[in-house]
Structure 1
Amino acid sequence: MSNSLWLSTAYPREPYPKLEGDVTCDVCIIGGGLSGIANAYFLAKEGKDVILLEKDTILAGATGNSTGKLTAQHDFVYAKLLKQFGRDNAKMYFEVNEEAVQFGKSIAIKDELKAADSILYSQSKLGTELLRYEMNAYKELGIPGELGRNSELPIQIDATLTLNNESQIHPVRFGQHLARLAVEAGARIYEHSDVLLMDLKKRLLSMKSGHEVQFKELILCSHYPIEALRGLQIMKLSVDRSYIVAAEGDMPLRGQYIAVDEPKRSIRTAQIDGKTYFLLSGESHQAGMESDTQIHYNRLYTDLQDVYNLSPLTHGWSAQDPQTPDLIPYAGIISSSMPYVYLSTGYRKWGLSNSMGSARIISDLIVGKENRASELYSPDRTGFGTFLLQALKNTGLVLKEFTGGHITRTDSPICTHMGCRTRWNAGDETWDCPCHGSRFRKDGSVLEGPATKPLDLK
C-alpha cells in the first residue's frame, strides 16, 4: 500500500524539464523535497544562480509522505534538549522552528495552510508525568504552553499540553507553491535528473544522462546524504519508518495531536477540495527490519474503524525519517575540509519546520549572513561523547545486517550502496535495506537513497 493523500491531491502541473546539456551554477542543490526547494527559494531571492536536481519528481519523497504538521511542538523533546544542550540552545531550537512556522504562514495561499493548536496528550500516569516535565521545560524556555485536558478526541486522555496557533499544511501543494516562487526568483528546477557521480574536488557532478553540472557550492538535501561517508554521518544517522492511514470524516478537528505514551499515535484532520479527511499515524520501527509491513497499516485501520468509527480507508502510506543521535538535525558545512559542500538531514519526523529552518541556516551561511543557530545545527559539531554508544549501535547493526543478511536472505537482491541484503516489504511492495535505509521499487529502480544505482534482480 502506497497511496499518499497529499500526492493524490496535488495541484495539477506541468513537469519540470529534465536536464539536457552541461550547465554551470553558483549553487547546486540535490533533492527536490521541501528542504531543497526552500534552499532554492532563499538563495534565488538573494541573487544566487541556483540549480535544483531531483532524480524523480519534486515532493514525492519524505515531504509528500509526511503528516503535514507544521509546528514547533516536536513531541516530548524540549525537556531532553534542555538537559542535553542547556537553556540557550534548547530555546534556539524552538525559535528556529517557530520562525519556520511563521514563514509558512507568510507565503501560503488558499487551503495550503490552516491554523491549528498542537497538542501532546497522555494516556497513563507515566505519560502525564512526561507532560509535566515538558511543561516545566516550556516555562524555563519561555514557550507559551498550556497544561490541562484539552481534547476533542473520543478516547480516554489523562492530560494535554497545548501549543496554540501552530499550523498544519498540505505539504505537496505548499511545496509546489514554494517551488513556483523559487523559479520566479530565478532558480532552475530539473526533474528526472539523476546524479551518478560526484567529483567534489573539481566541484563537478556527472549525471546519469551523461551531462555535467559545474558548481561553486553544493547542498545535499537528498533524504539520506550521498556523501555521508565523508563526515561519518552514516554512523550517526538511524532511519525510522512510520505509517499513516486516512479516511473521510465529517468533523474537522481544531487541534493536531500526538501521544507521548503507548499506543503511540499522531492525529489530525485535513480539509481538501470540500472533503474532510481524518489522518491517523504511528507504528514506527527501524527501516528495513520488517518484511510484513502490512500489519502496521492493518492496526491503524482497525483503530480508524473501532475507535473513530470511520470507514472505508481512502489512503495509506509510509514515511522514512533519518535522525541524529542528539535530536538536532544537521544543517551546514559537511566537513571543514570542504567548506563549499553543505548537508541538510536528520529531521527526526519533524521535517516540515526543520527543513525550512535548516534551509535558512544554510542559505545564510552561503550568502555570508550571520545565523545564530549555525553552530547548533552544524554537521561538524562535536560533543558526541554521550551519544557514542548510539553511533556504535547503529554501526553494529550495519555489520550484523551485512553478514547476517547474506547468510539468511540469500535470495534477496543486494543493495547497491554498501552491499547489504535487502528485505522485501510486502506492504509497500518495495525492497528495503536495513543498513542505511535505501529503498527500491518492485522493478529494482531506486526509490530512496543513499543508493544511487538500481538493484540487480536477475
Structure 2
Amino acid sequence: MSGETISFWNKTVKKTQYPQPPKDLETDILIIGSGITGITCAYCLALNGARPIVIEAGGLCDGTTGNTTGKVTIQHDIIYSNLLKKHGRDFAQGYADSQTEALNFVRRQVKELSIDCQLADTTSYIYAQTREEKDQVKAEYEIARDLGIDAEFTEIPGFPPGNMGMLGFRDQAAFHPVRYVNALAAAAAENGAIIYCDTKAVKLQKEDDAIRIFCEKDIEIRTKHLVMATQYPFYDGPNLFFTRLYAKRSYGIAVSTANDWPEGNFINVGEPSRSIRTHVENGKKVLIVVGEGHPTGRGAQDTQLHYEALVQFADQIAGAKEVLAKWSAQDYDTPDQLPYIGRISDNSNIYVASGFGKWGLTNGTLAGNMISELILNGNCRYEEIYSRKRKDYSSSIGKTISAVLTPVGELIKSKLEFPESCSDLKQGEGRSINFEGQKAGIYRDFDDTVTILDISCTHMSTELNFNSAEKSWDCPAHGGRYSVEGKLLEGPPKDSLKVLFQGKFSELAIK
C-alpha cells in the first residue's frame, strides 16, 4: 500500500485554483472555509444579490468535505429514536424534514447547473450484527416510517458479513463531493461571490460596527457579518466549544475489486465502524470503505493498522485487488448528535456551523442554507433544532462530562509520561524524547533530516502524540493536528509549534 494519503475525491479531480486577496479588504459578508458549508452559503447569498467573500487557509475543499464517503443521506446512524425520546415527535420530524431539504437542494443544483459529479440515487442501509443492535434497528424503522421516511427493514444474505438485518432509507444519494463543491464554487463566483485561497485567518477583533479579521501575510479583512464554516469554530464567543465538541479521526480507502457487491450506502451500528458505498469512475466500479474511527490522538500506536483493517474488510466483502487511494478525515461530534448551526450569541453577526459528526454533506448543505437565510432575513426555519442554546438532556450529560474530563486526563497523563530515547529511530518515524531537559517530539525524515518540536499543543498545552500513518502530531484532548515541521494543520489551536532543532540525524548530540 502506497504511503501517500490523499482522498480518492481529491486524487481524481483538477480543482479550480483561486488567488490570494490584496492586503486590505472590506465586505458585508466574510465566510471562512471553502468546504460544502462555506461554498453553499456563498452560493445562496450570491443568488440573492449579495457579494460575499470566502477565504480558505489551504485550497478549495482541502478539509473534511474532500475526505468523506460522499454519501448524501438523511440516515445518520441511529438518530431518530434518540431525537424522539429526548425531544419529542415534532423535533424529530423537523430534523428529518431539514435533512431532506438539504438532500433535495443538492439534487436541484446538480440538475440546474448540470454538475458532473456522478450523483446516483441509492438506498442507505444501517445494519445490525447483534440481537441488541437488531432491536435498535427495528425500533428506528418504526419511528422512521411514522416520520414519513420511505423505509424498509430487510436483509441481504451475507452482505455485509455477519449482518442480522438492516434498515434501508430509499431515495438517498451518493456523489463525488469535490466535483460538486468545485462546480458550486464556480457558480457562486459567477453570481458575485469572491473566493480567495491560501489565506489563513489567525485573529478576530470586534469593533463598534464591524468585525476585523487578521490573516497571515499581513492581510486584514473588515466585515459586517462573519460566517465560520471551519468545522471547528475559529472564534469561541461565550460558548466554550472545546467542552462541547470532541474530535474523531477516521480512515478511508478506495479499492478495485475482483468480485461484485450489492449497490447501496451501508454502515454498521456498532464498533469498529464500517461505512461502505459504491462509486463509478470512468465506467468502473470502485468500492469506498471508511471506518476505524477513534478520538483524535488516541488511536492505534501504529496508525497504519487502521488502513490495513479496512483493506482486510474490503477483501472479505468483494476481493480487494488494488488500493486506489487511502486517506483520513477529522470530524467533530456533539454530546447529543446534533450540530450547532446559527448565531454564536444572541443578536450577533457571527455565525457558526460545527459538530456535524460523520454527516457533513447534508448538515453542511443545510448549514449553508440556514446561515444565508439568517443573514438575509434575520431568521430561518429549523433554528431552534440546531441552536447552540438547546437543552442538555440527562442521557447526554454523561457524554458531555466524559468529553470534558477525558482531555483533562490526557493533559495530566501527557505531563507525567517519560519520553523515549531516539537512538533506534528509523526514517519516517517520530516519537517523544527528552531534549535539553524538556519533553519534545522528534521526527526523522527519509532524507535523514530530523525535526525536533516543542510538542505541547498551542491550544491548551496537552502533549501531542505521533500519527505514524499521516506523519503528523495529533492532540488527544481537542483534536489539534500539526505537520512534522510543526505547521498547524487543523483543529482549535491558532499557532504552529516551536521548532527546537532541525538538521541531520548524525548531528544530534542526544541519542
TM-score, scaled relative to structure 2: 0.85
For 1:335, which of 332, 345, 358 is the aligned residue? 345
1:343–1:379 Cα contact (<8 Å) kept: no
Instruction: Classify the secondary structure of the residue corresponding to 1:377.
Output: coil
For 1:52, which of 34, 42, 54 is the aligned residue? 54
Residues 442 and 143 of structure 1, relative CA distance in 2, 3 Å threshold: same
**Which residue does 1:416 correspond to in 2?**
458
**Which residue does 2:318 correspond to in 1?**
308
Name which one, 1 or 2, has greater alpha-carbon Rg: 2
State the Cα RMSD in Å. 1.8
Separation in structure 1 between the aligned mates of residue 206 and residue 97 of structure 2, nearest angstrom: 33
Residues 256 and 42 of structure 1, relative CA distance in 2, 3 Å threshold: same
1:188 aligns with 2:197: no
Separation in structure 2 between the aligned mates of residue 207 and residue 78 of structure 1, nearest angstrom: 41
CA deviations on 1:228-275 (whole Å, 9 max, x unpaired) are 363111111111111111211364742111112355311111112233
Instruction: Classify the secondary structure of the residue corresponding to 2:267.
Output: strand
For 1:429, which of 468, 471, 479 is the aligned residue? 471
Separation in structure 1 between the aligned mates of residue 166 and residue 95 of structure 2, nearest angstrom: 22
Separation in structure 2 between the aligned mates of residue 366 and residue 332 of structure 1, nearest angstrom: 10
1:220 aligns with 2:228: yes
CA deviations on 1:133-163 (whole Å, 9 max, x unpaired) are 1012112222221112246836343212111
Output the amino acid matched with 1:364.
E
Output the amino acid matched with 2:6.
N
**Which residue does 2:132 correspond to in 1?**
126
1:30 aligns with 2:72: no
TM-score, scaled relative to structure 1: 0.95
For 1:176, which of 165, 182, 195 is the aligned residue? 182
1:91-110 mapped onto 2 (5 Å cutoff): 91-108=93-110, 109-110=115-116
Instruction: Classify the secondary structure of the residue corresponding to 1:380.
Output: coil
Residues 327 and 286 of structure 1, relative CA distance in 2, 3 Å threshold: same
Separation in structure 1 between the aligned mates of residue 117 and residue 376 of structure 2, nearest angstrom: 33
The alpha carbon displacement at 1:43 in A equals 1.2
Residues 76 and 19 of structure 1, relative CA distance in 2, 3 Å threshold: same
Output the amino acid matched with 2:94.
M
1:244–1:316 Cα contact (<8 Å) kept: yes
2:467–2:473 Cα contact (<8 Å) kept: yes
1:30–1:52 Cα contact (<8 Å) kept: yes
For 1:248, which of 249, 256, 259 is the aligned residue? 256
**Which residue does 1:161 correspond to in 2?**
167
**Which residue does 1:387 correspond to in 2?**
396
Residues 120 and 154 of structure 1, relative CA distance in 2, 3 Å threshold: closer
**Which residue does 1:74 correspond to in 2?**
76
The alpha carbon displacement at 1:20 in A equals 1.8
**Which residue does 2:447 correspond to in 1?**
none
The alpha carbon displacement at 1:27 in A equals 0.9
The alpha carbon displacement at 1:384 in A equals 5.3
Residues 418 and 4 of structure 1, relative CA distance in 2, 3 Å threshold: same
**Which residue does 2:10 correspond to in 1?**
7
1:295 aligns with 2:337: no
Separation in structure 2 between the aligned mates of residue 89 and residue 198 of structure 1, nearest angstrom: 35
Separation in structure 1 between the aligned mates of residue 204 and residue 337 of structure 2, nearest angstrom: 29
Query: Which piece of structure 1 moves more, 238-247 or 393-402?
Result: 393-402
For 2:276, which of 267, 282, 286 is the aligned residue? 267
Residue correspondences, number: 456
For 2:215, which of 188, 203, 207 is the aligned residue? 207
CA deviations on 1:99-145 (whole Å, 9 max, x unpaired) are 11111111122243111111112222222111111012112222221
Query: Which piece of structure 1 moves more, 256-265 or 57-66?
Result: 256-265
Separation in structure 1 between the aligned mates of residue 97 and residue 275 of structure 2, nearest angstrom: 23
Separation in structure 1 between the aligned mates of residue 225 and residue 157 of structure 2, nearest angstrom: 48
Stretches of structure 1 that go unaligned for 5 or more consecutive residues are: none
For 2:363, which of 335, 354, 357 is the aligned residue? 354
**Which residue does 2:506 correspond to in 1?**
none
Q: Percent identity?
A: 32
**Larger RCO (CA within 8 A; separation ≥ 6):** 1
1:112–1:171 Cα contact (<8 Å) kept: no
Instruction: Classify the secondary structure of the residue corresponding to 2:66.
Output: helix
1:111–1:272 Cα contact (<8 Å) kept: no
